[in-house]
């Protein structure tokens, strides 16, 4: 991956409008955590929500070099052809925004990073479905106490595995002698999940966690080699995130910088 060019890559970040939240200040603070990580790793963040004007939305989507699908409310089960069975606080306007952003990123083969809801959106938009309620993974609401954490097993040969290994010069802990998976402790702020049965055909699992519903897919990527990565935990909440996740942010912003360079070269 080449170095970040002088003009930083523009990363569109889909979020919820804080003005529509029960606690606007908390919602704004959560949104800014995503922007801070993009800035810290050399990108230019642009927050985009469902009440952004159509002209500004079109401008950002047309000029973005990468797309970050952030956390938020549940996806409408109708998008994966199911009735509501555990989903709550469904946000139809957020679904519409992110589907439009996803299609534009797909049209231009831009890198896409999905966090929590974002991982689920990647799966749904790719033809998969969700498990609508996994109570044990909901944990403590952000800002209300310490994060609930659990073990995450990561496939070493995956994009995620290589990224976390690159940020851990002394290596990442593995499983036992019969298990080559890398292991990290990550936060858990979700009540919906992706299972192997619901995984979209064009995606492959790269990380897993256990639950009362069985093994959950908590990391995924595209099978065709395009830079698409989903992570169920919240890596922007750095107080409950292992240092190795830094490698994912670095890789994502680097991929967006590469896309920006390629676009500039094509226009010359």
pLDDT tens across 66-96, in order? 999 999 999 999 999 999 999 998 999 999 9
Architecture of domain 10-267: 3-Layer(aba) Sandwich (3.40)
pLDDT band at 3 (very low <50, low <70, confident <90, very high): very low
Query: Are the beta carbons of 200 and 228 closer than 8 angstroms?
Result: no
pLDDT of 103 higher than 80: yes
173: pLDDT confidence band, cut at 50, 70 and 90? low
Pairing assessment for the beta strands 112-115 and 66-69 based on DSSP bridges? parallel
The string of pLDDT tens digits covering residues 111-165 is 999 999 999 999 999 999 999 999 989 888 888 889 999 999 999 999 999 999 9
Q: Which two tokens stand for residue 108?
A: 């231009």
Count of residues making up the chain: 268
Distance CA 18, CA 29 (A): 9
pLDDT at 170: 65
Higher pLDDT, 154 or 3: 154
Domain map (residue ranges) of the chain = 10-267
Integer Cα distance of 151 and 178 in angstroms = 17
- The pLDDT of residue 101 is above 80: yes
Task: Find out whether 223 and 203 touch, Cβ atoms under 8 Å.
Answer: yes
Tokens of 218: 């908590």
Average pLDDT over residues 209-217: 93
Query: Are 51 and 91 contacting, i.e. CB atoms less than 8 angstroms apart?
Result: no
């Amino acid at each position: 991956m080449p170095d970040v060019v002088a003009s930083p890559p523009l990363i569109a970040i889909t979020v919820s409008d804080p003005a529509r939240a029960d606690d606007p200040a908390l919602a704004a603070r959560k949104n800014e955590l995503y922007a801070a990580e993009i800035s810290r790793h050399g990108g230019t963040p642009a927050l985009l929500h469902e009440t952004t004007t159509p002209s500004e939305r079109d401008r950002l989507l047309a000029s973005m070099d990468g797309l970050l699908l952030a956390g938020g409310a549940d996806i409408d089960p109708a998008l994966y052809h199911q009735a509501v069975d555990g989903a709550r606080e469904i946000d139809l306007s957020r679904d519409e925004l992110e589907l439009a952003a996803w299609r534009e990123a797909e049209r231009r083969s831009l890198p896409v990073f999905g966090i929590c809801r974002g991982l689920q959106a990647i799966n749904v938009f790719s033809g998969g479905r969700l498990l609508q309620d996994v109570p044990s993974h909901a944990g403590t609401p952000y800002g209300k106490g310490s994060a609930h954490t659990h073990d995450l097993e990561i496939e070493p040969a995956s994009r995620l595995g290589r990224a976390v290994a690159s940020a851990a010069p002394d290596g990442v802990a593995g499983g036992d002698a019969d298990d080559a998976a890398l292991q990290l402790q990550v936060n858990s702020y979700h009540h919906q999940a992706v299972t192997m049965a619901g995984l979209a055909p064009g995606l492959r699992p790269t990380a897993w966690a256990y639950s009362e519903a069985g093994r959950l897919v908590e990391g995924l990527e595209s099978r065709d080699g395009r830079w698409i990565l989903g992570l169920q935990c919240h890596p922007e909440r750095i107080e409950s995130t292992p240092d190795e996740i830094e490698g994912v942010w670095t890789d994502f912003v680097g991929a967006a910088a590469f896309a920006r360079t390629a676009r500039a070269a094509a226009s010359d």
